[in-house]
Each structure stands twice: as structure tokens, then as C-alpha cells.
């Protein structure tokens, strides 16, 4: 039975799955997830416990960047297995007492979920028995406007997250969707993107003969094109109705 319990705790949804549904109490009221966020991208992220230094630095950073994520039609939702009153006390301490890397008087306005029963943490595989069986590791779930999990990043308890990368993932996923492309290693808006592989011998031949001036092919299976940074950001950095 103990072995079965560990397997259950370590389970997690996969990329492409529907985000597991739940209702929860948060520091911003009750939420029904992901239903309340239809039409928006969402970052659902967990942290091990309140009043911990790594988590404090992360929450201050997320709160400072919230408007930047919101401009990319992305909402933030945090989670900890601590209780609501602990959350409130911790967030008040952050605002009233903590100054870090030029950030001070930071008010966390996005929801922080109370998950004392660990129901949500278990649904999302945030409890890793090999790491600590009482704490949620630093998971980051990127969920699209249709409620589908598109990217998952896991960090151990000791490692703070890279927020430039988290933001880059949000922009890259939206770029891939809006322009029907893929993004290469270390991609940033304005860099070349990867066009879909040739679906026929004729298309492959045309590409290698450079009949499409906008496309540069390194070989028949690896072709890129330029999309200007302004075009990408103009398409992403605004609220748009969910396409059907």
C-alpha cells in the first residue's frame, strides 16, 4: 500500500492534457480552475511553504512582473499547502518589511491557493516523495486559453526560478500558435523562427531551390524565416478574443 501511495503522489498530468479541474479558496477569493480563466493563458505555480526565503524572492519577482504577464494575456495563480491565514500574514510581511533587489512595498495581487489537504498539489503531481513528502516542489504549469497544459517546468526546493525564461515560454508558445511556426534554441522575439517541415518532395525541392525568398533552408527539413519583433509583440501583447 505504501508503494502504491508513492506512485499516486508522484503522478502528474502531461503536456497536451486538459488541466485538472478544482475549486479552491485563495487570497483573492474562491476560484474554479481552469474555468474562471477561459480565454486567457495561465501560469499555475507552486511553492513549498510560506515564510521561506527562496519563495519570498520569487513571489516578489512574480508580483513585480504581473502587469507584464497580463499584457501578454497571461494570468498568475500561486499555490502552497499552507493555510489562508498563513498566506495573508506572509504576503503582508512581504509588502511591509521586505526589500530585495530594488523591490519594496510589493503587493501580491494574484491569487495564492490554500491547499492544506494537498488535493490540488496531488492532482498536478506537485508532491515529490523523493524530495519532501510534505511540501510542493516548484512546479510551473503553462495552460492555454482552452485549458490545455502546454508546458511544464519543475524545480527542486533549493532552486529559484528564472523569470526571464518563464516569460519567454509564454511569448514563444503564443508565437507558435499565432504564426504556425516553431521556435529554435534560445529564441527571442525578432529571431528567426522554424517553418513547418516540408510535407512533400515537391515542397522540399522548391525550398532547396530557394523559390520562397522569405524562407532560408539549411537543408530540406530545417528551414527558417524572419518575423519581426514588432509584428510578434503587436499580435501578442493585447487581449484578443479566443478564436473558435
Burial 146-170 (b: 16+ CB within 10 A, else e): ebebbbbbbbebeeebeeeebbbbb
pLDDT of residue 137: 72
Distance CA 134, CA 115 (A): 12
Residues at the binding site for substrate are 138
Global pTM reads 0.87
Q: What is the pLDDT of residues 167-202, one digit of tens each?
A: 999 999 999 999 999 999 999 999 999 998 765 555
Q: Is 223 a catalytic residue?
A: no
Strands 222-226, 215-219: pairing is antiparallel
The domain 174-236: what is its CATH number? 3.30.1020.10
CA-based end-to-end distance of the chain: 45
Catalytically annotated residue among 55, 74, 217, 223 = 55
* The CATH classification of domain 2-167, taken from the options 1.10.375.10, 3.40.30.10, 3.40.50.1580, 3.30.420.340: 3.40.30.10
Domain with CATH 3.30.1020.10 in the chain: 174-236
Domain with CATH 3.40.30.10 in the chain: 2-167
Residues at the binding site are 138
Q: What is the pLDDT of residues 86-144, one digit of tens each?
A: 999 999 999 999 999 999 999 999 999 999 988 998 899 887 665 555 566 789 999 99
Amino acid at each position: 500500500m505504501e508503494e502504491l501511495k508513492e506512485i499516486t503522489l508522484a503522478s502528474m498530468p502531461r503536456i497536451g492534457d486538459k488541466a485538472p479541474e478544482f475549486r479552491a479558496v485563495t487570497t483573492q477569493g474562491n476560484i474554479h480552475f481552469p474555468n474562471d480563466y477561459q480565454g486567457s493563458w495561465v501560469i499555475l505555480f507552486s511553492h513549498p511553504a510560506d515564510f521561506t526565503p527562496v519563495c519570498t524572492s520569487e513571489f516578489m519577482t512574480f508580483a513585480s512582473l504581473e502587469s507584464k504577464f497580463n499584457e501578454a494575456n497571461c494570468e498568475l495563480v500561486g499555490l502552497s499547502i499552507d493555510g489562508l491565514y498563513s498566506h495573508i500574514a506572509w504576503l503582508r510581511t512581504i509588502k511591509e518589511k521586505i526589500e530585495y533587489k530594488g523591490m519594496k512595498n510589493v503587493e501580491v495581487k494574484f491569487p495564492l491557493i490554500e491547499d492544506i489537504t494537498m488535493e490540488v498539489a496531488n492532482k498536478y503531481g506537485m508532491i515529490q516523495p523523493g524530495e519532501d513528502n510534505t511540501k510542493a516542489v516548484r512546479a510551473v504549469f503553462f495552460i492555454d486559453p482552452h485549458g490545455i497544459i502546454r508546458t511544464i517546468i519543475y524545480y527542486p526546493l533549493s532552486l529559484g526560478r528564472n523569470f526571464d525564461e518563464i516569460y519567454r515560454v509564454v511569448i514563444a508558445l503564443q508565437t507558435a500558435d499565432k504564426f504556425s511556426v516553431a521556435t529554435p534554441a534560445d529564441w527571442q522575439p525578432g529571431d528567426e523562427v522554424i517553418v513547418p517541415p516540408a510535407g512533400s518532395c515537391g515542397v522540399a525541392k522548391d525550398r532547396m531551390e530557394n523559390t520562397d525568398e522569405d524562407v532560408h533552408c539549411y537543408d530540406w527539413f530545417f528551414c527558417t524565416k524572419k518575423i519581426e519583433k514588432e509584428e510578434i509583440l503587436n499580435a501578442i501583447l493585447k487581449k484578443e478574443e479566443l478564436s473558435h
